[in-house]
Amino acid sequence: MIKSVICDMDGVIYRGKQLIPGATDFVQRLLSTNTPFLFLTNNAEQTPLDLRLKLESLGIHGLTEENFITAAMATAMFLKAQKESATAYVIGGGGLMSELYKVGFSLSESNPDYVVVAKSTSFNFDQLKKAVRMIDAGAKFIGTNPDMIDPVEGGNEPAAGTILAAIAAATGKKPYIVGKPNALMMTLATRKLGTHPDNAVMIGDRMDTDIVGGMEAGMKTALVLSGVTTPEIMAHFPYKPDYVFNNVGEIDPQAL
Ligand SMILES: [Mg+2]
């Protein structure tokens, strides 16, 4: 039976604007063996088109928008399953809003069903106040992903988790967060591929998101050492991946 692949991107395919050695070979191997696959990211700002273009600019060709799942898409899939054609107040970028539109949600500032929060580089006090009052009035509090910071050129910048923390502090309510490490995101990805978790492998560079999320979703897991995790860091976790590779160039999914 052919194995399906769900693969993280940052630290696996690229680091910042640099391609990781072996990534091009790996993608070609996925395509030439007809391996069902999805690239999965907690990034909720970029659309699948943005991501495809980014990979093309790094020299990876042959992908379509169907090959990507973002935390914004997963959040929209989750919310649609919870409630048809609901209303939401959104803090986040165009990527998130377009995914919510696609599943039939409408944006509203008057008693919305949900307050949905992603990273927003234009976040301000007025949005914070609105979100707090809506949640106080009963709107359900949803986050796309828990990442506190994003490493960018010149240092770290606050990400979705930081904005969620501000709203949580003001409301006393905890958000439900869809992105990694929530195994829900991996489950939505395997469903999108039409495969069973038993038959899928999660590839990533982080023990506390990719590997734990894949494991809890019932998938095989493969850690690559091309990102943030060293063998020493890996050894500190109470769980381990099924496989460890230096980089994705070493991985032949159909041989796992
Ligand atoms: Mg990563």
- pLDDT surpassing 80 at residue 184: yes
Do 71 and 41 contact (CB within 8 A), yes or no?
Answer: yes
> For the whole model, what pTM was predicted?
0.93
176-177 and 140-143 as β-strands: parallel, antiparallel, unpaired? parallel
Among 217, 212, 225, 170, which Cα is nearest to 198's? 217
- pLDDT surpassing 90 at residue 17: no
> Could you tell me the distance, in angstroms and rounded to a whole number, from the CA of residue 123 to the centre of ligand 1?
25
Q: Supply the pLDDT for residue 53.
A: 97
Structural domains of the chain, with CATH: 4-42+180-255 (3.40.50.1000), 74-177 (3.40.50.1000)
Rounded to whole angstroms, the maximal C-alpha distance in the chain is 54
> Could you tell me the distance, in angstroms and rounded to a whole number, from the CA of residue 10 to the centre of ligand 1?
4
pLDDT in tens, 226-250: 999 999 999 999 999 999 999 999 9
pLDDT in tens, 60-94: 999 999 999 999 999 999 999 999 999 999 999 88
For range 1-30, the mean pLDDT? 94
pLDDT in tens, 103-132: 999 999 999 999 999 999 999 999 999 999
Output the six-digit token pair for 239.
């769980």
Q: Supply the pLDDT for residue 16.
A: 81
For range 20-46, the mean pLDDT? 95
Catalytically active residues, by annotation: 8, 10
Mean pLDDT of the chain: 95
For range 49-59, the mean pLDDT? 96
For CA atoms 57, 146, 79, 93, the dihedral sign is negative
pLDDT in tens, 131-144: 999 999 999 999 99
Q: Supply the pLDDT for residue 63.
A: 98
41: β partners:
70
Neighbours of ion ligand 1 (CB under 5 A): 8, 10-11, 205
> Could you tell me the distance, in angstroms and rounded to a whole number, from the CA of residue 248 to the centre of ligand 1?
12
> Could you tell me the distance, in angstroms and rounded to a whole number, from the CA of residue 146 to the centre of ligand 1?
14
